[in-house]
Structure 1
Amino acid sequence: MQSLKKLNGVKILLVEDNAVNMKIARRFLHSWGASINTAENGVVAWQMFQQQSFDLLLIDLEMPLMDGKELLTQVRSVNKEIPAIAFTAAVYENMYDDLQKHGFNGYLHKPFQPDEMHRNILLHLGKN
């Protein structure tokens, strides 16, 4: 784990309604040097997105008030380029195609493997 490339200066918006998942993901992201902002649902995330810039979005799909797909639809209306990774425990048929259709660049299954999360982030930032 120590050999993982640092994410110093990378600004990530982590959108997750589960406090335990949020805490674990945040701890790893922080240990890699990323700057993390967190939102517990899509409504809060959308407000944050409009107020500041991020390098990458890590978005839970199933949340109250506004789910991940709805959030990303709003984000894509103003920013087509920002990498967005679905953060989900869901598994369903044609999942990757469906997520791409909704504007996601990739996905990460929960419970996640830290090295897989790190690799995914670097890949979508174009720093692999």
Structure 2
Amino acid sequence: MAFAANEVVISRDAMTVYGFLMDGMNNPLWRTGVRSIALRSGVRGQKGALYQQTVTGPGGRPVAADFRITDARPGAEVRYAVVTGPARPTGASTSAPKATPPASGSPLSTTQRVCGSS
């Protein structure tokens, strides 16, 4: 199983960051390679929402990468699972208080696990 992690500080409060990440329609604003995205079912920006997404794959070809918001803790964590396409990663974005918080902004940790392919 592949695993990736990253941490950044975003110059916004935790609830603003959480709201932005919960709405999958924002993916093209921060993820490269998103060609198209639309809400397929559920309520936009809420747990259970299913987004139909096409990303740029190998050789520039379009690849389906639909995903669902699987869990959410307001202001703290957003979890998702990719449900179509050749890779089916699951991941989370977590905003957790640090012992020494940054001067301004919210620390955001992201993780992604690739469990296999279809």
Structure scoring higher RCO (CA < 8 A, sep ≥ 6) equals 2
- TM-score scaled by length of structure 1: 0.29
Q: Which has the higher strand share?
A: 2
